[in-house]
């Protein structure tokens, strides 16, 4: 396992995304067996960072993660669990209630990382962070972060958080460089913060990427592994790919063993 180290905290370079586990916008219990099988496989393979949100399957994603972790017997302190608060729950009381709901569904006493999932027009971030700071002080959250924030909002959030902002979780992949172009990547790297790349495989849209195909062949790796290796080779960047397939989960996790040369990284960039 390869880690990104920030202020003494080691976070796996490859984590596990859980969007679609348990349903879409609403819970779908008919897929529980598939979701639990995927989570058990990920735990067995050695994934330790699990990313979820209260909006994933209307909270059912969190319930499935909680069940899979309980049944695994893996110690809570060996895992890094991230969840997110929905943009329509950013008022003080709603923040507290949402966090308590996530803790209950996950069946844990604390979250390692809690993110504001999306910015919302008219949101009152001072009020939101007043609640988030209290949750940290009460021991229910260990680290704070945001998601889909631009540099202006990220800077504002850093000033409001009493314990700093650990990460900005944004879409970032070979095929989607928007948060590199808008300055968020460089900002995170300059401030010693993590950029967490979601949809790091861009739903496979880059599979015909000729440069990636050639580099993958040179390393006897898949194109997906090469795309992930390019991401995690960058300082302050981690990735959270998602898959129900044990084969693909293993492939994603082993992307850290694909060691790209500086020239190959530059070619892909």
Catalytic residue numbers? 56
Helix residue ranges, H only, the chain: 32-45, 60-72, 92-106, 125-137, 151-160, 178-181, 184-191, 210-218, 223-232, 246-253, 262-268
Query: In Å, what is the CA distance from 99 to each residue of 26, 35, 41, 146, 250?
Result: 19, 23, 27, 14, 31
CA nearest neighbour of 123 among 96, 98, 159, 86: 86
Write 186-191 long-range contacts (CB < 8 A, 24+): 187/151, 187/154, 187/155, 188/154, 188/236, 189/235, 189/236, 191/158
DSSP characters for 188-250?
Answer: HHHHT-EEEEESTTGGGTTTT-HHHHHHHHHTT--HHHHHHHHHHTSTTEEE----S-HHHHH
The answer to whether the beta carbons of residues 244 and 37 sit under 8 Å apart is yes
Q: Are strands 113-116 and 3-6 parallel, antiparallel or unpaired?
A: unpaired
| Backbone conformation region of residue 220, classed left if phi is above 0, alpha if psi is from -120 to 50, else beta | left
CB 86 within 8 A of CB 98: yes
């Amino acid at each position: 396992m390869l880690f990104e180290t920030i202020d003494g905290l080691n976070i796996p370079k490859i984590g596990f995304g859980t969007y679609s586990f348990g349903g879409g916008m609403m819970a779908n219990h008919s897929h529980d067996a598939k979701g639990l099988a995927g989570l058990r496989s990920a735990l067995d393979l050695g994934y330790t960072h699990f990313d979820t949100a209260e909006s994933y399957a209307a909270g059912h994603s969190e319930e499935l993660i909680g069940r899979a972790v309980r049944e695994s017997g893996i110690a809570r302190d060996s895992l890094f669990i991230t969840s997110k608060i929905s943009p329509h729950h950013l008022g003080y009381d709603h923040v507290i209630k949402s966090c308590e709901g996530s803790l209950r569904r996950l069946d844990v006493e604390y979250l390692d990382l809690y993110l504001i999932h999306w910015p919302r027009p008219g949101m009152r971030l001072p009020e939101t962070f007043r609640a988030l700071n209290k949750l940290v002080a009460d021991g229910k959250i260990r680290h704070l972060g945001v998601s889909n924030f631009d540099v202006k909002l990220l800077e504002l959030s850093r000033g409001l958080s009493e314990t700093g902002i650990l990460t900005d979780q944004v879409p970032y992949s070979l095929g989607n460089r928007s948060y590199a172009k808008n300055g968020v990547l460089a900002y995170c790297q300059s401030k010693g913060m993590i950029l967490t790349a979601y949809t790091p495989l861009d739903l496979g849209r880059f599979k015909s990427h000729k440069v990636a195909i050639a580099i993958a062949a040179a390393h006897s790796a898949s194109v997906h592994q090469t795309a992930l290796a390019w991401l995690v080779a960058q300082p302050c960047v981690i990735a959270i790919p998602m898959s129900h397939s044990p084969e693909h989960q293993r492939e994603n996790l082993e992307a850290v063993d694909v060691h790209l040369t500086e020239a190959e990284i530059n070619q892909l960039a």
